[in-house]
Structure 1
Amino acid sequence: MIEAFEVHSWLYPTMFVVAIFTGFVDSIAGGGGLVMMPALLATGMPPHLALGTNKLQSVFGTSMACRTYWRGGLVQVRENLPLIAIAFIGAASGAFLVQMLAPRILSYIVPIFLLALAAYVILSPRMTDDDAQQRLTRKGYAPVAGGIGLYDGFFGPGTGQFFTASLVGLRGQGLTRATANTKLFNATTNWAAVAVFALGGKMVWLLGLTMAAGAMLGGFIGSRFAMRHGARIIRPLMIIACLGLTGRLVVGWFTS
């Protein structure tokens, strides 16, 4: 069923600017939804429409960031094609399920994982730009890619951090390269979710595309910034994003 939402004219420039900021942050450390989802909900947009519209703008930002990292030689597309397909299927399944189920239960579980992730980023000696010995083969990583994809389609906050940390910790990639490949996976899962939300009529198209232009600009600037400064900027931003997402979800327990 197609849902309707009245968009006031002032929302277009406002959300365009918000999308530039979220695209910048998301391209470096993930967590752009920390700002964007509350901003969309604050407009009075119904939650399912907000989820779909957020995915629409986000997919353009992550795709732009992915392209920029790829041009910088940091993204391995061909080698990751099977994993991309698995993540796509997982995300499409999650986006289908969320339209039938309430994702509230995840809002209680995810902060625990995000706090653990922040601790890992702070304490792990692997969080550098140096590649390390991989703990999982590409085939062994497939269930991880599919699981994170399912989570992204169903709920979403922290997806970028989960991909990056798992690529560092399990696949042995340096932090900047892991961040770049995260955008490849994240763009894939976002495209899958966009397709499912669009088919379900859960999209505010014109506003979403306006935001997409801002997200692309922010993603381009952020990815170039990350390639220039590497782990010394990515690592602290990941910690901030993890803690910020945790705080946002915990606040949601008491305000919803």
Structure 2
Amino acid sequence: MGTDKRWGPAYACAPFALDALLEQLLPELLWLVCIAFMAGLIDAAVGGGGLVQLPGLFTTLPQQAPATLLGINKFSAISGTAVASWRYARAVRFPWRPVLFAAATAFAFSFLGATAVSLLPREAVRPLVLALLLVMLAYTLIKKDFGSLHRPRQVGRRELAIALAMGAAIGFYDGLFGPGTGSFLIFLFIRFFGLDFLRASAASKVVNLATNLAALSFFIPAGHILFAFAVPMALANVAGAVAGTRLALHGGTPVIRKLFIALVLVLIARMSWDTFAGG
């Protein structure tokens, strides 16, 4: 099931069976908790928490199967995303109908994306993602008012159809590959629905919550979760999400725009390395 033999499968399924392993796991756990906090903070503000958390898991727990690390990441991430979604929903208003339509198709298509992982090499996806990120960055920089003003469009059949297609594409991508999902969602909510960066970030959390839930509905029954790590990381991710949401709400659209551009630059740098140097 992707668990380490020295710990046994019981620790992958029992959240409270930690006493015998506490001393052994403490150094790794403390480091991962710090990483989860930072990931929750970044993700709540502008998305991209996986850029911090997933590499941290692969570096700290190299003996674990990739599916197990992905399961831990999703379990932690969904906790922070849920809290961020709730806090945003209380503080800002955004059009719920297209968001929920996008979330529904994102949930369904994330399963298809996860299935396609075995059929399509990830290396084939990287150049396309890199090109999309470059276009997205150029568009944001050229249009100085992009995401600065909140001019929501009337939601009709066309907008709902766009929301369904958007959710399907992003859900499939998140299941297949993942990096930059939050940034793509923010960009699309601004471009097609006239939201500002603050409200687009809030809307993206709801869709991201659906994709994470879809992934967990596979990882948990398959036993790809080490709760000894996942539960403390989830709590830390929630704390980070509270801090990140507060930062976004107090800083508003100008702060989120700057963070968004910085995150896209980081994504471009990472994708460029993975595509041309990292192999």
The answer to whether the superposition gives a TM-score over 0.5 is: yes
Instruction: Kindly state the Cα deviation for residue 53 of structure 1 after the two structures are TM-superposed.
Output: 1.7
Query: Given the alignment, which residue of 187, 205, 212 partners 2:234?
Result: 212
Between the aligned partners of 1:114 and 1:8, the Cα distance in structure 2 is 38
* RMSD across aligned positions (CA): 2.2
Q: Does residue 162 of structure 1 match 2:213?
A: no
Q: 1:3 is matched with which residue?
A: 2
- Which range moved further: 242-251 or 58-67? 242-251
Q: 1:251 is matched with which residue?
A: 273
Instruction: Kindly state the Cα deviation for residue 230 of structure 1 after the two structures are TM-superposed.
Output: 1.2
Residue 100 of structure 2 aligns with an amino acid whose one-letter code is L
Alignment identity in percent? 29
Q: Which residues of structure 2 form unaligned runs of 5+?
A: 8-23
Q: 1:229 is matched with which residue?
A: 251
On the 8 A contact 1:75/1:184 being kept in 2, the answer is no
Instruction: Kindly state the Cα deviation for residue 101 of structure 1 after the two structures are TM-superposed.
Output: 5.2
Q: Map Cα deviations across residues 198-217 of structure 1 (whole Å, 9 max, x no partner).
A: 23333222212211111111
Instruction: Kindly state the Cα deviation for residue 77 of structure 1 after the two structures are TM-superposed.
Output: 4.1
On the 8 A contact 2:81/2:209 being kept in 1, the answer is yes
Q: Does residue 203 of structure 1 match 2:222?
A: no
User: Which protein shows a greater Rg?
Assistant: 2
- Which range moved further: 129-138 or 110-119? 129-138
Q: 1:47 is matched with which residue?
A: 66
Q: Secondary structure at the match of 2:26?
A: coil
On the 8 A contact 1:95/1:197 being kept in 2, the answer is no
Q: Which residues of structure 1 form unaligned runs of 5+?
A: none
Aligned residues: 255
Between the aligned partners of 2:253 and 2:184, the Cα distance in structure 1 is 16
Q: 2:148 is matched with which residue?
A: 128
On the 8 A contact 1:129/1:176 being kept in 2, the answer is no
On the 8 A contact 1:22/1:32 being kept in 2, the answer is yes
Instruction: Kindly state the Cα deviation for residue 149 of structure 1 after the two structures are TM-superposed.
Output: 0.9
Distance change in 2, residues 1:57/1:129 (3 Å) = farther
- State the TM-score, normalized to the length of structure 1: 0.91
Between the aligned partners of 1:81 and 1:217, the Cα distance in structure 2 is 26
Q: 1:22 is matched with which residue?
A: 39
Q: 1:145 is matched with which residue?
A: 167
Instruction: Kindly state the Cα deviation for residue 60 of structure 1 after the two structures are TM-superposed.
Output: 0.8
Q: 1:56 is matched with which residue?
A: 75
- State the TM-score, normalized to the length of structure 2: 0.84
Distance change in 2, residues 1:59/1:116 (3 Å) = same
Q: Map Cα deviations across residues 152-187 of structure 1 (whole Å, 9 max, x no partner).
A: 122111000111100000111122111101101111
Q: Secondary structure at the match of 1:138?
A: helix
